[in-house]
Structure 1
Amino acid sequence: MMPKRQQQTENRRGQIVEAALACFIASGFHQTGMRDIADAAGVSLGNLYNHFPNKQALIAEIAAMEALEKQDLIDALAADLAGPAIRDFAERYLRLCERPEDVSLTAEVLAEAARDAELARLFAANRRRLASALADALRRGAEQGDVDNGLPFAACAHWLLDALEGCAVNRALLGAQLDDVDISALIDKLLSPAGGKR
């Protein structure tokens, strides 16, 4: 069990990160100052700096949280039967990406990544891990006869992530009428082996 003082420190850090996320979503990385985060977290500026020396450290913590959240998806892609795992992944990833806070944060990350190479590096590493796990699942699915063996697996993984993220943004921000059944049918058509029954 974690000592009480250490637990309090972890709780305070979590409180600060949640406040930073809310500020970043509302105002953007660039427009949010450390004082804004301290005020939102209900801590003094000095206390904030005790936990995070700068805004970049907070963004790095958010990237680390994203990596942990996506690890569950990565683990699920390693299931024995790759085809169902990929289809389940697509459904879960779409739901994750279309949460309002995720849509806003993704838009902000993309905008800021164009200005900040270090931020881009942090979030790109998370996406590479996800794409690599998806490519491995596609390769296994082809070996199991459930996925088209002619697909370029790495490119297909990136394309599928792009497609799911794009669907999420279009549905959440633009109200696009992209039906879940149609999205599933398109994924099945893309993945199915020639002559496969779907």
Structure 2
Amino acid sequence: MIKKAKQEPTNREQATRARRELLIEAAVSCFVEDGLARTGMRDIAKKAGVSIGNLYNHFPGRDDLIAEIAKIDAEELAAVMAEVTDCNDPHKAVDIFVTRYFEHCANLTSAVLTVEITSEALRNSTVARLFSGTRSMLSDVLETAIQNGEHEAFGMAAESRTAVVGLILDMIDGYALRVGLTGKKPSKKDTQALLSVVRCVLSMGGGDKGDHPMLS
């Protein structure tokens, strides 16, 4: 079977893609600088230097912009997580997961967006659903890495695995938020400290669930 050559995007398609990227960047900038609740479509159009009509041609509403941001974030994380799934060493796979996810989240823009989107998600179920898929994807990747090393690496009871995965994700999110809000690039010391705590949690998961209050 002869494969068709991949068609290059037309000038019009390239222009449309560039315009959408500009609008997304403007939206992120507004959300970070002014807060999601205080940002309207006119603010985003002004930041992007386009008419309000042009903005609506690409994104009918603010939730559509947030949905695109969620999609881009999920795609970026999926590419990073591929490195985890390709690793056959369970210890190394978990270390890669923690390091890459922490690096992805521990910056000022991501930290402020996390605060804004979390607050909005409490009031807006649509926004909450947009980002729940990313959390599920991260949970699945980490749980698989731990499961692959249960017997020879972690010795973790199967019933503890889901609780441990949730705890590790919460720790990474929380520490990335703390580091990111400083506006400084995360240091190697930050990453090593987080890895040490995660390894400790994994070793705790190997015992009786009832022995560990955090996993009960």
Please give the TM-score of this superposition, normalised by the length of structure 1.
Answer: 0.89
Q: How many residues align?
A: 192
**Per the alignment, do residues 179 and 60 of structure 1 end up closer, same or farther by CA in structure 2, a change over 3 Å counting?**
closer
Percent identical pairs in the alignment equals 35
What is the alpha-carbon distance in structure 1 between the residues aligned to residue 36 and residue 80 of structure 2?
Answer: 27
Which aligned pairs between 1:46-57 and structure 2 lie closer than 5 A? 46-57=53-64
- Once the two structures are TM-superposed, the CA of residue 122 in structure 1 deviates from its matched residue by 0.6
Secondary structure in structure 1 of the residue aligned to 2:156: coil
1:94 maps to a residue whose letter is F
What is the alpha-carbon distance in structure 1 between the residues aligned to residue 23 and residue 191 of structure 2?
Answer: 36
CA contact (8 A) 1:131 1:158 kept: yes
Task: State the match for 2:83 in structure 1.
Answer: 76
Which aligned pairs between 1:1-198 and structure 2 lie closer than 5 A? 1-78=8-85, 79-143=87-151, 145-150=152-157, 152-173=160-181, 179-192=190-203
What is the alpha-carbon distance in structure 2 between the residues aligned to residue 73 and residue 191 of structure 1?
Answer: 22
- Once the two structures are TM-superposed, the CA of residue 190 in structure 1 deviates from its matched residue by 2.5
Secondary structure in structure 2 of the residue aligned to 1:50: helix
CA-to-aligned-CA distance 1:38-66 (integer Å, 9 cap, x gap): 01111111111110111111111011011
CA contact (8 A) 2:66 2:127 kept: yes
- Once the two structures are TM-superposed, the CA of residue 170 in structure 1 deviates from its matched residue by 2.1
CA contact (8 A) 2:112 2:181 kept: no
CA-to-aligned-CA distance 1:83-119 (integer Å, 9 cap, x gap): 2011111112112211110000000011100110000
Q: Which moved more, 1:151-160 or 1:80-89?
A: 151-160
CA contact (8 A) 1:87 1:184 kept: yes
- Once the two structures are TM-superposed, the CA of residue 125 in structure 1 deviates from its matched residue by 1.4
CA contact (8 A) 2:143 2:162 kept: yes
Q: Which moved more, 1:149-158 or 1:86-95?
A: 149-158
CA contact (8 A) 1:20 1:37 kept: yes
1:182 maps to a residue whose letter is A
Please give the TM-score of this superposition, normalised by the length of structure 2.
Answer: 0.82
- Once the two structures are TM-superposed, the CA of residue 179 in structure 1 deviates from its matched residue by 4.1
Runs of 5+ unmatched residues, structure 2? 1-7, 207-216
What is the alpha-carbon distance in structure 1 between the residues aligned to residue 98 and residue 155 of structure 2?
Answer: 17
2:202 maps to a residue whose letter is L
CA contact (8 A) 2:105 2:180 kept: no
CA contact (8 A) 1:98 1:168 kept: yes
